[in-house]
């Protein structure tokens, strides 16, 4: 506020600044209070706005759609937005805007979109009995405009993403996600407490951060998949936390009291891989002086996690296929068949479908390990998770190094939000660890990122922004092509653009929708 004269100050400007500062303070704590704060403010404000509108217009009883639209447009436009009605019918009211009431700073706090959702949804639910709010586009997420759909008919909103409101109670969906996350973490920590030995106090219990919609879908998939016997393939870039997801599946399964054995297939020399996995008999080869139980036998009754499964040799792939098909194995150099009872979870950062096409990975094994596929999004696609991850990592590093760091500065948080994180969560941990080691105060004010610390030239910033948008757009298009099996019309509908625009983007990135139209294996 120091850059503004007293004559520039208005109650609205003060309120906006106050909320942004409150958001920043809550964000630094990295806790659930941030979203709860937004929800509480929005619920209270929504009731106040509705009462004020009724008083000004002398309206009583339930608001009709015309009055509701007048109310939400009026309250937004009166505080600096540029909202207008895009469409309205008995099932859905869609409004758009080109200017956020919070200004450009909202890009640092995309969580504030939840305030619009709760205000619009709470008022609609009180008057129509039900509402689901879908924020299709958002200035906070660099879409250039906002597009908000308020579904007042449960059937119309059934298959749409968004938050549901009934009466004055915001979203059971959000509560369910919170409860699900608590159940998963509690299961994981129970196992951790049983397995952790007293000398290993420096190690921290596992925790999953899932504030972003994509990670919340992963949590929901874990709940569905974990109790089954299905083999699982986890795909994702290096450093996204594939082993953590595998541990969560194990913790939520009936095998949770049995061993969880992780193995990095790419870290074992090829000559030793089969022996490490399946064991060997005495005398099987030079140096085999006794019987050796492999990882499969040690995981009996539990879960075996095969990371970098794409690096398995052809011989190991053949043996693995037999274990999955027959539920039995033979040690290297052995003739006796041993029954095995375990669950296999595999992980890869490669495109296994492409490796199958190139003959580098057995197609029959691929289908066996790919009964259920979970795709973990890169950190660049999880902006909502960043402040929570930062807080969690700082807490763990404080215990590791006996530090008292509480948060990061606003400038550092802005760098974190801007940086693309090619190394994902692992890179974020390493960067924060280096910075925390040299921090003498309670706040990290400098981040050791290997990129220019200042971007003052407009062209440089434009290039960085466009590069980031291209990466996100490419990732989204690939996901949409797979989800809709190359149906451009459905992709266009999900993106809120014309099919012609989608074809233009596909041509730009040389994506062929025909390649995605075959049935999924």
Taking only the tens place, the pLDDT of each residue in 456-484 is 555 556 666 667 777 777 888 888 888 88
> 57: number of CA atoms within 13 Å, CB side?
16
**Cβ distance 113 to 37 under 8 Å?**
no
**Cβ distance 297 to 279 under 8 Å?**
yes
Instruction: With cut-offs at 50, 70 and 90, classify the pLDDT of residue 415.
Output: confident
| Helix %, strand %, coil % of the chain (to 5) | 55, 15, 35
Nearest to 240 by CA among 214, 260, 220: 214
Report whether pLDDT(447) > 80. Answer: yes
- Its pTM stands at 0.58
What percentage of the chain has pLDDT greater than the value 90? 21
Please tell me the distance from the alpha carbon of residue 397 to that of residue 185, in angstroms, as a whole number: 20
Least confident window among 122-136, 180-194, 264-278: 180-194
In terms of C-beta density within 10 A (0-12 exposed, 13-18 middle, 19 or more buried), how is residue 372 classed?
Answer: middle
pLDDT of residue 185: 74
pLDDT of residue 454: 47
Report whether pLDDT(153) > 70. Answer: yes
pLDDT of residue 169: 46
Q: Compute how many other C-beta atoms are within 10 angstroms of the C-beta atom of residue 35.
A: 18
Task: Give the DSSP H or E segment for 273.
Answer: helix 270-278
pLDDT of residue 207: 81
Please tell me the distance from the alpha carbon of residue 349 to that of residue 273, in angstroms, as a whole number: 19
Instruction: With cut-offs at 50, 70 and 90, classify the pLDDT of residue 521.
Output: very low
pLDDT of residue 1: 41
Token pair 């030793």: residue: 272
Evaluated on CA atoms 109, 111, 116, 119, the torsion sign reads: negative
pLDDT of residue 32: 52
3-state SS, 498-516, equals: CHHHHHHHHHHCCCCHHHH
Least confident window among 146-160, 209-223, 457-471: 457-471
**Cβ distance 149 to 92 under 8 Å?**
yes
Instruction: With cut-offs at 50, 70 and 90, classify the pLDDT of residue 452.
Output: very low
Phi (first) and psi of residue 400, to 5 degrees: -65, -40
Evaluated on CA atoms 231, 232, 238, 242, the torsion sign reads: negative
Of 156-165, 416-425, 465-474, the range with the highest mean pLDDT is 416-425
- Token pair belonging to 420: 């693309």
**Cβ distance 303 to 255 under 8 Å?**
yes
Mean pLDDT of the chain: 81
Report whether pLDDT(109) > 60. Answer: yes
Nearest to 324 by CA among 365, 362, 352: 365
For strands 83-88 and 92-97, give the pairing: antiparallel
Report whether pLDDT(8) > 70. Answer: no
Nearest to 260 by CA among 343, 347, 374: 343
What percentage of the chain has pLDDT greater than the value 70? 81
Report whether pLDDT(333) > 60. Answer: yes
Q: Compute how many other C-beta atoms are within 10 angstroms of the C-beta atom of residue 282.
A: 12
Instruction: With cut-offs at 50, 70 and 90, classify the pLDDT of residue 201.
Output: very low
Please tell me the distance from the alpha carbon of residue 181 to that of residue 187, in angstroms, as a whole number: 10
Tell me which of 498 and 35 has the higher pLDDT: 498
Q: In this predicted model, what pLDDT tens digit does every residue of 272-316 receive, in sequence order?
A: 888 888 887 776 666 666 777 888 888 999 999 999 999 988 888
Least confident window among 223-237, 328-342, 355-369: 328-342
pLDDT of residue 117: 84
Nearest to 269 by CA among 224, 324, 219, 313: 313
Tell me which of 227 and 44 has the higher pLDDT: 227
Report whether pLDDT(23) > 90. Answer: no
Tell me which of 240 and 205 has the higher pLDDT: 240
DSSP 332: B
pLDDT of residue 520: 44
């Amino acid at each position: 506020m120091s850059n503004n004269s007293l004559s520039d100050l208005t109650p609205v400007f003060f309120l906006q600044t106050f909320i942004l500062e409150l958001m920043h303070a809550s964000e630094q704590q990295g806790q659930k209070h941030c979203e709860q704060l937004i929800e509480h403010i929005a619920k209270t404000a929504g009731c106040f706005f509705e009462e004020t509108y009724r008083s000004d217009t002398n309206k009583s009883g339930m608001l009709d759609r015309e009055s509701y639209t007048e109310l939400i447009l009026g309250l937004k436009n009166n505080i600096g937005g540029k909202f207008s009605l895009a469409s309205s019918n008995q099932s859905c009211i869609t409004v758009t805007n080109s200017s956020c009431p919070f200004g450009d700073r909202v890009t640092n706090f995309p969580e504030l979109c939840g305030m619009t959702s709760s205000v619009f949804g709470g008022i609609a639910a009180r008057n129509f009995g039900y509402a689901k709010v879908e924020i299709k586009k958002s200035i906070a997420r660099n879409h250039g405009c906002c597009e908000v759909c308020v579904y007042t008919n449960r059937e119309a909103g059934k298959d749409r993403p968004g938050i549901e409101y009934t009466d004055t109670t915001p979203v059971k969906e959000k509560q369910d996600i919170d409860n699900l996350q608590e159940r998963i973490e509690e299961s994981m920590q129970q196992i951790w407490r049983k397995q952790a030995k007293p000398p290993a106090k420096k190690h921290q219990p596992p925790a999953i951060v899932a504030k972003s919609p994509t990670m919340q879908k992963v949590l929901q998939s874990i709940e569905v998949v974990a109790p089954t016997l299905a083999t699982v393939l986890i795909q994702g870039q290096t450093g996204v936390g594939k082993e953590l997801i595998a541990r969560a599946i194990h913790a939520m399964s009936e095998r949770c009291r049995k061993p969880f054995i992780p193995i990095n297939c790419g870290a074992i020399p090829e000559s030793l891989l089969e022996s490490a996995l399946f064991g060997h008999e005495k005398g099987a080869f030079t140096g085999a002086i006794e019987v050796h139980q492999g990882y499969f036998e040690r995981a009996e009754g539990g879960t075996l996690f095969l990371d970098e499964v794409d690096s398995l040799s052809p011989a190991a792939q053949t043996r693995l296929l037999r274990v999955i098909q027959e539920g039995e194995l033979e040690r290297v150099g052995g003739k006796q068949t041993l029954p095995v009872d375990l669950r296999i979870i595999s992980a890869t950062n490669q495109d296994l479908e492409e490796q199958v096409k190139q003959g580098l990975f057995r197609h029959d094994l691929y289908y066996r390990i790919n009964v259920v596929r979970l795709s973990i999004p890169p950190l660049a696609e999880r902006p909502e998770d960043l402040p929570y991850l930062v807080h969690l990592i700082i807490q763990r590093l404080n215990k590791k190094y006996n530090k008292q760091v509480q948060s990061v500065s606003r400038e550092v948080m802005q760098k974190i939000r801007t940086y693309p994180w090619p190394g994902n969560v692992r890179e974020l941990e390493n960067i924060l660890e280096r910075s925390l080691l040299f921090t003498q105060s309670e706040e990290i004010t400098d981040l050791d990122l290997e990129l220019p610390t200042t971007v003052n030239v407009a062209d440089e910033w434009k290039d960085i922004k466009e590069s980031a948008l291209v990466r996100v757009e490419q990732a989204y298009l690939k996901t949409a092509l797979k989800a809709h099996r190359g149906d451009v019309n459905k992709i266009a509908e999900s993106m809120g653009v014309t099919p012609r625009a989608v074809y233009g983007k596909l041509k730009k990135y040389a994506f062929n929708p025909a390649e995605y139209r075959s049935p999924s294996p």
